Structure formats: structure tokens, C-alpha cells
Structure 1
Amino acid sequence: MQVMFYELSRDPAHAVVPLLARRIVEMDGRVLVVSADDQQRGRISAALWAHRPDGFLANGQMGEGDEERQPILLSDIPDPLNGARFLVIADGVWCEGEEPFERTFYLFDDETRVQARQVWRDLRGREGVKKEYWAQEDGRWAKKAEE
């Protein structure tokens, strides 16, 4: 399992999630985006639909039906009903599914930084877990740490 920590210092989650999701979907992957905040999930969904002028990233919300057909599923719990192997934690609140995801993108900001540091420490030494820490620097993502 790989956990990618993304510190949101400039862009909010609804601007970052479409970038991550596009890459995964382009590789025929499926994504589960988790946030306990209904409004945040709504902003993310809107951003996915409007991601590019020449296209969109189809997505649906858990509970709306046809979850298994969604390439990108938004939910408040880490239950990959769409068969996702990739998890994006958009609200900075760590969660794990019953089965480990292939890769977890853990987005956090100033408000959730303390929790993110604790999660980094908690995952230290866990067998089979690789971690990377990324931060925004001059408009780009830069890798700051790896374990």
C-alpha cells in the first residue's frame, strides 16, 4: 500500500482531486473520493464535471444508485462499491477501508496538519506501507519526504 500525503497550501481539495482522478481514470483505474463534508463533495463533483473545456470526469455520489458503474465515486465512508483501488481522502480526516487500497492520496491543509503528522507517525513501521509527502512549491508539486 502506498500513501501519498498532499499538503494543500495553495489549492483547495476540489481543485486537486480532478488532477489526481484524471490520471487514475486515464490508466483505466477507478477512484473513491471520501469526505464527511457534503458541501465539499458537491464542490468536488462540480469540479470533476467541469474539469476541462474539452471533457469531463464522470462521477457519482454514494447513495444515488449505480455506484458500481462510477469511475469516480464520492462518499462519506471508505467503501469502494465502484471497485476502486485508489482512495482520495479529501477532507484531511484519515480513514481506511476493510481491504487496503493500492494507493491512498491523503489531502490535508492547515486545519488538519496535526492529524496528518500523527497519521505519518502511525504508519511508520507498518509492514507493506510506503509513504511520500508532497507540498505545493512555486505552482508545482514537490516531493519533500519518503519512507
Structure 2
Amino acid sequence: MTEVYFYHLERRRLDDALPTLLERSLERGWRATVQAASEERVEALSTLLWTYSEESFLPHGTARDGQPDMHPVFLTTSEDNPNGAHVRFLVDGAELGDASPYARVVFIFDGSDTDAVARARAEWQAAKASGYTVSYWQQDETGRWQQKA
């Protein structure tokens, strides 16, 4: 059964949180797909994953790179699963029609954006109504994730 996680950004930005969440997914042996709302955002995330740390980078690709099955992390605007991902991250209000192909779907949303919070609430209700296991994660004072529901 697919798990649907909701990560509520309050103390850190997406650019700070996403690389860590992707690293953890890869450590589990999972392939990941990140779905953004625009091609411009996909390119910005691609640059981020090459440069977020001086010590490392996250191997990834986009449609421009081709051969999606060769990339453990794939960045896209579409709903398909081109790299056979186990986990799908949805950012910037990206929507997913069918969560069932994934072990986990992760919605990451900005808590200071009222529209993003409203979309997350609607997605929560839809996921629960579809019978998925859902959980809500919020950042504590230090920026660490705490499961709240």
C-alpha cells in the first residue's frame, strides 16, 4: 500500500530540505522522481542537486538528458514514472493522479503560502479517501522533521 507523506516547510526552504530527503531515499535503495510545476523549476532543481553541497552531489537527470532509466533521481513536470521510481516527490503545487505505482508519495509545501497549504489539505483529504496511508510531518524549532499526524 502506498504511503503518502506531507512535509510542511516552516523553518527551511525547499532548496534546503529536498536534497536531504532525496539522499535518504537513495540510502534506502529507492529510485526517486521529483515532479515540479514548470520546466524552469526543473532546471533550477537540477542546478541545485549539482551544487547544494561542496562535498557531494545527487546523481540525477531530466528529459533533456535522455535515458531516464539510467538516473536514480529524475526531475520532471509530467506524471509518468520514467525511471521506475519507488518514491515520488511533488513540489510547487505539482499534482499526481495515481499514487499506486509508488511505495511513497511525498508532497512538500511551503507553510507560509496559504494557497500551498490549502492544496495540501485537499490532497490529504483525497489521499485518505483513496485509502492510502497518510502522515503529516512538520519542522520543529531546529528544522528537524517531526511526525504530527
TM-score by length of 2: 0.87
**Corresponding position of 2:116:** 112
Tell me the C-alpha RMSD between the 2 structures.
1.7
Unpaired runs of 5+ residues, structure 2, are none
| 1:50, distance to aligned residue in structure 2 (A) | 2.1
Q: Is the counterpart of residue 43 in structure 1 residue 44 in structure 2?
A: yes
Contact 1:4 1:103 in 2 (8 A): yes
1:40 alignment partner AA: R
**Corresponding position of 1:70:** 71
Secondary structure in 2 matching 1:22: helix
Map 1:102-141; keep pairs closer than 5 Å. Answer: 102-109=103-110, 110=113, 111-127=115-131, 129-138=132-141, 139-141=143-145
Secondary structure in 1 matching 2:34: strand
Cα distance in 2, alignment partners of residues 90 and 15 from structure 1: 13
Map 1:4-43; keep pairs closer than 5 Å. Answer: 4-43=5-44
Cα distance in 1, alignment partners of residues 71 and 26 from structure 2: 11
Superposed CA deviations along residues 22-73 of structure 1, whole A, max 9, x for unmatched, are 1111222110000122232222212211233222111111243111100100
Map 1:88-99; keep pairs closer than 5 Å. Answer: 88-97=89-98, 99=100
Contact 1:33 1:73 in 2 (8 A): yes
| 1:98, distance to aligned residue in structure 2 (A) | 7.5
Contact 2:68 2:74 in 1 (8 A): yes
Q: How many residues align?
A: 144
Contact 1:33 1:72 in 2 (8 A): yes
User: Which range moves more in the overlay, 84-93 or 6-15?
Assistant: 6-15
1:141 alignment partner AA: W
Contact 1:49 1:57 in 2 (8 A): yes
Q: 1:12 to 1:96 in 2, by over 3 A?
A: farther
Cα distance in 2, alignment partners of residues 72 and 123 from structure 1: 24
1:36 alignment partner AA: A
Unpaired runs of 5+ residues, structure 1, are none
Contact 2:70 2:83 in 1 (8 A): yes
Q: 1:96 to 1:16 in 2, by over 3 A?
A: farther
**Corresponding position of 2:62:** 61
Secondary structure in 1 matching 2:65: coil
